[in-house]
Structure 1
Amino acid sequence: MAARNGTASGLAATRPASVASSSGAASDSNSRPLASDGPIASTSKSATAVPAPNVGDKLAVLLTTLSAQDDESILSIAVEEARESRDDHRLGTSVNPSGVGIGSRDGKRQTGRVYGGSQGGDIHVWDLATLSLRSRLTGHDGAVLALQLIPERDWLVSASGDGTVRVWHTPTLSLVYLIHPPHDNIGDILSLAWVPYNLLDKADSDRRPNGAAARVRKPAGRLYAGCQDTSIQWIDLPPPFQLSAEDVAPVSHGGRMSPVSGSPHSPPIFKTPNRFFDSLTEADRARTRIGLSASSSGRHSLNTSNAATPLASSPVGSAPKTSPPIAHAQEAGPIRTQFEPNSVELQFQAECIAPFAHNGYVYCLSLAKCNEQTVLVSGSGDETVNIWRPGVDALSLLSTLESEYDAVLAFAARDNTLFAGHQGGVIKVWDLDSLTCVRILRPHKHDILALSVIASSLFSSSANGSVQRWDLRTFRLAGEWKAHDNIVLASDVRTLRRSRTQGWLLTGGNDATVKIWDVRDEDVTSPLSPLDRGFQGELFHTLAKFVSYRTIADTEHREECRQGALYLKRVFREMGAETHLLPGAAERNPIVLATFKANAPPRPDTPRRRKRVLYYGHYDVVSATASERWTHDPWKMSGQNGWLYGRGVTDNKGPILAVAAAASDLRRRQELEVDLVMTIEGEEETGSAGFQEAIRSHRDIIGDIDVVLVSNSYWIGEDWPCLTFGLRGVIHATLKVQSSRENLHSGIWGGATSEPLTDLVRVIASLTAPDGSVQIPGFLADVRKLTSQEKLLYETIVQRCQGADTLKKLTSGSIISDPVQSLITRWRQPALSVHKVEVVGPAQKSLIPSAASAAVSVRIVPDQSLEAMIDKLTKHLEAAFATLRTENKLTIDITQTADWWLGDLESPYAQAMAKSISAQWHLDPLFIREGGSVPSLPFLEQEFGAVAVHFPIGTSSDNAHLPNERIRVLNLEHGQTIVSKWLTRIAEI
Structure 2
Amino acid sequence: MSDAKDPVHRIHAPGSVQALALDNDILFAGLQGGIVAAYSLDTFELVSSVQAHEESVLGLHLCSRHDLLFSTGADSIVNVWSTQSLQPLYSLHSHFEVGDIFCISYSYRTRVAFFGAQNGSIGWYQLHDQRNGDHHNAHFSPGTRKHRFFDSLGPGGSQDPLQLRGPNGALNAGGHRATISSDHYHAYGHKSYVYSMLLVKGLFQHDDEEEVLITGGGGGTIKLWKIEDLNNGGLLELFKFKNKDSSVLSLSYSGTFLYAGMSNGFAHIYNLSSCQLVQKLNVGYGHVSQIQISCGSIVCGTSAGWLKQYNSQFAETACWKAHDGKILASDHEHMPTRKIFATGGNDNTIALWDTKDPASKSVAQAAQSDDDLLRTLRKFVTYRTVSSSQRYARECHEAVNFLRKLCSAFGATTTLLSPGEGVSPILLAKFTASVDSNDSKNVLFYGHYDVVDAEVPAPGSTSTWNGDPFNIEPLNGFFYGRGVSDNKGPILAAVYAAADLAQRGLLSCNVSFLLEGDEEAGSRGFRPTVQQHHEAIGPVDHILLSNSYWLDDHIPCLTFGMRGVVHATIQIASDRPDLHSGMDGKSVQHEPLKDLTVLLGSLLGGDGTEITIPGFDNAIDKLTDTEANVYKRVASSLLEGHPEIKSQQEFAQSLMQRWRYPNLTIHQISVPEAKTAVTISRVALATLSIRIVPSQTAEDVAQGLTRHLEDRFAKLGGTNKLSIGITSKADPWLGNPHSPLFQALRSAIVDVWSPATEAGGRSFPNSGTATPTASDTSTARPPHRRASVLASHGTFTTSNTPHEPLFIREGGSIPAISFLEREFGADAAMFPMGQASDNAHLDNERIRVENLYKGREVLKKVFAML
The question of a shared fold, defined as TM-score above 0.5 by the shorter chain, is answered with: yes
Pick closer, same or farther for the CA change 1:129–1:716 going to 2, 3 Å.
same
1:503, CA displacement in angstroms? Answer: 2.3
Cα deviation digits, residues 411-463 of structure 1 (max 9, x gap): 12112211111113111111111121111111225011111221221111111
What amino acid is aligned across from residue 10 of structure 2 in structure 1?
Answer: T
**Where in structure 2 are the equivalents of 1:932-943 lying within 5 Å?**
932-943=812-823
Q: Which whole-Å CA distance do the structure 2 matches of 1:746 and 1:125 have between them?
A: 70
TM-score w.r.t. the length of structure 2 is 0.86
1:810, CA displacement in angstroms? Answer: 11
Q: Which residue of 1 aligns with 2:160?
A: none
What amino acid is aligned across from residue 741 of structure 2 in structure 1?
Answer: Y
Task: Establish whether residue 190 from structure 1 lines up as the match of residue 25 from structure 2.
Answer: no
What amino acid is aligned across from residue 720 of structure 1 in structure 2?
Answer: I
Pick closer, same or farther for the CA change 1:445–1:699 going to 2, 3 Å.
closer
What amino acid is aligned across from residue 269 of structure 1 in structure 2?
Answer: H
Q: Which residue of 1 aligns with 2:330?
A: 491
1:766, CA displacement in angstroms? Answer: 3.5
SS in 2 for 1:156: strand
Q: Which whole-Å CA distance do the structure 1 matches of 2:741 and 2:353 have between them?
A: 40
Cα deviation digits, residues 471-510 of structure 1 (max 9, x gap): 2x22122121111112111111132425xxx622211111
**Where in structure 2 are the equivalents of 1:572-583 lying within 5 Å?**
572-583=407-418
Q: What is the root-mean-square deviation of aligned Cα atoms in Å?
A: 2.6
Pick closer, same or farther for the CA change 1:160–1:532 going to 2, 3 Å.
farther
**Where in structure 2 are the equivalents of 1:441-840 lying within 5 Å?**
441-471=281-311, 473-498=312-337, 503-520=339-356, 522=357, 524=359, 529-531=363-365, 533=367, 536-553=370-387, 554-600=389-435, 608-626=438-456, 629-743=464-578, 755-774=591-610, 775-805=612-642, 808=644, 818-840=650-672
Q: Which residue of 1 aligns with 2:690?
A: 858
Task: Establish whether residue 349 from structure 1 lines up as the match of residue 181 from structure 2.
Answer: yes
1:374, CA displacement in angstroms? Answer: 3.1
Pick closer, same or farther for the CA change 1:858–1:187 going to 2, 3 Å.
same
1:177, CA displacement in angstroms? Answer: 0.9
Asked if structure 2 preserves the Cα contact closer than 8 Å seen for 1:363 and 1:380, the reply is yes
Pick closer, same or farther for the CA change 1:153–1:566 going to 2, 3 Å.
closer
Asked if structure 2 preserves the Cα contact closer than 8 Å seen for 1:364 and 1:378, the reply is yes
Q: Which residue of 1 aligns with 2:753?
A: 921
Task: Establish whether residue 61 from structure 1 lines up as the match of residue 6 from structure 2.
Answer: yes
Q: Which residue of 1 aligns with 2:835?
A: 955
Pick closer, same or farther for the CA change 1:63–1:901 going to 2, 3 Å.
same
Asked if structure 1 preserves the Cα contact closer than 8 Å seen for 2:30 and 2:57, the reply is yes
Q: 1:434 aligns with which of 258, 263, 274?
A: 274
Asked if structure 1 preserves the Cα contact closer than 8 Å seen for 2:91 and 2:178, the reply is yes
SS in 2 for 1:878: helix
**How many corresponding residue pairs?**
786
SS in 2 for 1:421: strand
Asked if structure 1 preserves the Cα contact closer than 8 Å seen for 2:55 and 2:73, the reply is yes
Q: 1:412 aligns with which of 224, 240, 252?
A: 252
Q: Which whole-Å CA distance do the structure 2 matches of 1:755 and 1:787 have between them?
A: 47
TM-score w.r.t. the length of structure 1 is 0.76
Pick closer, same or farther for the CA change 1:405–1:779 going to 2, 3 Å.
farther
Cα deviation digits, residues 213-253 of structure 1 (max 9, x gap): xxxxxxx521111100110101112x145xxxxxxxxxxxx
Pick closer, same or farther for the CA change 1:780–1:194 going to 2, 3 Å.
same
SS in 2 for 1:360: coil
Asked if structure 2 preserves the Cα contact closer than 8 Å seen for 1:368 and 1:416, the reply is no
SS in 2 for 1:446: coil
1:713, CA displacement in angstroms? Answer: 0.8
1:844, CA displacement in angstroms? Answer: 6.7
Task: Establish whether residue 165 from structure 1 lines up as the match of residue 78 from structure 2.
Answer: yes
**Where in structure 2 are the equivalents of 1:304-383 lying within 5 Å?**
304-305=173-174, 343-369=175-201, 370-371=203-204, 374-383=211-220
What amino acid is aligned across from residue 454 of structure 1 in structure 2?
Answer: S
What amino acid is aligned across from residue 180 of structure 1 in structure 2?
Answer: H
Q: Which whole-Å CA distance do the structure 2 matches of 1:512 and 1:592 have between them?
A: 43
Cα deviation digits, residues 525-584 of structure 1 (max 9, x gap): 77x743354574101011111111111113221121111111111111111111011111
Task: Establish whether residue 234 from structure 1 lines up as the match of residue 70 from structure 2.
Answer: no
Q: Which residue of 1 aligns with 2:758?
A: none
Asked if structure 2 preserves the Cα contact closer than 8 Å seen for 1:371 and 1:416, the reply is no
SS in 2 for 1:623: coil
What amino acid is aligned across from residue 156 of structure 1 in structure 2?
Answer: L
Unaligned 5+ runs, structure 2: 147-162, 458-462, 755-802
Q: Which whole-Å CA distance do the structure 2 matches of 1:809 and 1:837 have between them?
A: 35
Asked if structure 2 preserves the Cα contact closer than 8 Å seen for 1:384 and 1:403, the reply is yes
SS in 2 for 1:61: coil
Q: Which whole-Å CA distance do the structure 2 matches of 1:749 and 1:456 have between them?
A: 86
Q: Which residue of 1 aligns with 2:93?
A: 180
**Identity in percent:** 35
SS in 1 for 2:567: strand
Asked if structure 1 preserves the Cα contact closer than 8 Å seen for 2:480 and 2:844, the reply is yes
Q: Which whole-Å CA distance do the structure 2 matches of 1:741 and 1:397 have between them?
A: 103
Asked if structure 1 preserves the Cα contact closer than 8 Å seen for 2:295 and 2:355, the reply is no
1:54, CA displacement in angstroms? Answer: 4.3
Asked if structure 1 preserves the Cα contact closer than 8 Å seen for 2:639 and 2:645, the reply is no
Q: Which whole-Å CA distance do the structure 2 matches of 1:447 and 1:598 have between them?
A: 57
1:809, CA displacement in angstroms? Answer: 7.9
Q: Which whole-Å CA distance do the structure 1 matches of 2:550 and 2:164 have between them?
A: 46
Unaligned 5+ runs, structure 1: 1-51, 82-111, 198-219, 242-259, 280-293, 306-342, 603-607
Q: Which residue of 1 aligns with 2:263?
A: 423
SS in 1 for 2:7: strand
SS in 1 for 2:543: strand
Q: Which residue of 2 aligns with 1:903?
A: 735
Cα deviation digits, residues 261-296 of structure 1 (max 9, x gap): xxxx342425458796599xxxxxxxxxxxxxx994
Pick closer, same or farther for the CA change 1:295–1:853 going to 2, 3 Å.
farther
Q: Which whole-Å CA distance do the structure 2 matches of 1:457 and 1:658 have between them?
A: 32
Cα deviation digits, residues 374-394 of structure 1 (max 9, x gap): 321111110111111222422
Asked if structure 2 preserves the Cα contact closer than 8 Å seen for 1:163 and 1:300, the reply is no
SS in 2 for 1:62: coil
Asked if structure 2 preserves the Cα contact closer than 8 Å seen for 1:63 and 1:638, the reply is no
Q: Which whole-Å CA distance do the structure 2 matches of 1:80 and 1:437 have between them?
A: 32
Cα deviation digits, residues 65-89 of structure 1 (max 9, x gap): 1111x3x1000111110xxxxxxxx
Q: Which whole-Å CA distance do the structure 1 matches of 2:360 and 2:83 have between them?
A: 37
Q: Which whole-Å CA distance do the structure 2 matches of 1:919 and 1:469 have between them?
A: 42
Q: Which whole-Å CA distance do the structure 2 matches of 1:642 and 1:666 have between them?
A: 26
Asked if structure 1 preserves the Cα contact closer than 8 Å seen for 2:23 and 2:66, the reply is no
What amino acid is aligned across from residue 180 of structure 2 in structure 1?
Answer: F
SS in 1 for 2:838: coil
Pick closer, same or farther for the CA change 1:470–1:514 going to 2, 3 Å.
same
SS in 1 for 2:497: helix
Asked if structure 2 preserves the Cα contact closer than 8 Å seen for 1:546 and 1:653, the reply is yes
Q: Which residue of 2 aligns with 1:121?
A: 34
Q: Which residue of 2 aligns with 1:288?
A: none
SS in 2 for 1:191: strand
Task: Establish whether residue 964 from structure 1 lines up as the match of residue 844 from structure 2.
Answer: yes
